[in-house]
Amino acid sequence: AGIPEVIDVEHYEFRNGGLVSNNNNANLVDKKNKGKSIQDGSFYDHLADEEVVMSTTHPWGFPSSSSKRSRRSSSRPFNRDASASSSRPRAAVEVVVSSAQANFLRDFKRFDTVDNFSQHHYASQGNASKQHSRTWVKKVQADWKILENDLPEAISVRACESRMDLMRAVIVGAEGTPYHDGLFFFDIHFPDTYPSVPPMVHYHSGGLRINPNLYNCGKVCLSLLGTWNGNAREQWLPQESTMLQLLVSIQALILNQKPGMINQKLLATFP
């Protein structure tokens, strides 16, 4: 059977660039909270466990510290240049990681809030003093809570405290896809009639068309957003659809192993 365009993360897991049916729900899904995935938190563990080279050179701007080593449990050690005066590891791209940097990555919050979004694509759509309905506020706060607790490891989201109608998400391309390790940014706006209508989503394309469903103008083509045809179950459902479902759908249905397979008509026009 084919994969529906609306992803129910209660039944599917996104793994290595493809959807895998999750019939036994083995530690992957919280059955009591539909649409919420459980993460194992191991994404950055290797950075905390590895032996890292401490250096006064800090490319990320962290405070300097004296050079020392910590434990490294890696099955793929770096190649070293015996003729070089330094014993620092070499690779195709040399990376110096301090313990402070490793801790930063380990403690990085996939969901957090920021003070403002002055560069947001939808910044001009409203202002901080605008009043919203109780239903609107309740739904947005519910989305925040779901995202805070259940975002997949490859998706990070920032909401704005002063502008609850704005949100930004970044999706890391999955292994096994043409988008592996790429960063794909999406600006999100909750209109006044949300959740009766879906959010507005703008993709930061950089002027490039890398997917039939992602236009270089920033349009995201997906039935869940109402920007592509689909049956009733593939459309935005005000009482059921969530931001988590939308982001996972973009990850699984657009940034996947075979871009454009969900929208064959668009694929025919893709250069």
pLDDT tens readout for residues 6-44: 555 544 444 444 555 454 443 333 333 444 343 444 444
Reply yes or no on whether the pLDDT at 140 is more than 70.
yes
Instruction: Please check whether residue 7 lies inside any domain of the structure.
Output: no
The pLDDT assigned to 232 comes to: 82
Residues 85 and 196 in one domain: no
Task: Kindly state whether residue 229 falls inside one of the protein's structural domains.
Answer: yes
207 and 244 share a domain?
yes
* Domain assignment of residue 176, yes or no: yes
Least confident of 53-62, 105-114, 133-142, 261-270: 53-62
> Same structural domain for residues 68 and 169?
no
Q: Is residue 237 part of a domain?
A: yes
Would 187 be classed as within a structural domain? yes
Looking at the structure, do residues 199 and 222 belong to the same domain, yes or no? yes
Q: Are residues 121 and 32 in the same domain?
A: yes
Q: Of 107, 127, 146, which residue sits at a domain end?
A: 107
22 and 60 assigned to the same domain: no
Q: Examine the residue annotation and report whether 160 is marked as an active-site residue of this protein.
A: no
Q: Are residues 260 and 223 in the same domain?
A: yes
Please check whether residue 6 lies inside any domain of the structure: no
- What's residue 89's pLDDT? 56
Same domain, 51 and 132: no
CA distance 241 to 8: 10
26 and 51 share one domain? no
219 and 231 together in one domain = yes
**Catalytic residue (choose from 221, 222, 243, 252):** 221
Task: Note whether residue 4 is domain-resident.
Answer: no
Q: For residue 160, is it within any domain?
A: yes
* Residues spanned by the domain of 214: 12-41+110-269
State CA 224 to chain mean position distance: 17
Into how many domains does the chain fold? 2
Q: Which of 83, 107, 131 is the last residue of a domain?
A: 107
Give the domain CATH number at 256: 3.10.110.10
Asked which of 107, 138, 155 is the last residue of a domain, the reply is 107
- Residue pLDDT, tens place only, 163-204: 999 999 999 999 999 999 999 999 999 999 999 999 999 999
Between the ranges 86-90, 128-132, 137-141, where is the mean pLDDT highest?
137-141
Residue range 150-172: average pLDDT?
96
Q: CA end-to-end span of the chain, whole Å?
A: 29
Q: For residue 213, which of 256, 184, 254 has the smallest C-alpha distance?
A: 254
Confidence of residue 5 (pLDDT cuts 50, 70, 90): low
pLDDT for the residue numbered 220 = 96
Asked whether the predicted pLDDT for residue 236 surpasses 50, the reply is yes
- Within this chain, do residues 231 and 144 fall inside the same structural domain, yes or no? yes
- Whole-number mean pLDDT of the chain? 74
- The answer to whether residues 129 and 206 belong to one domain is yes
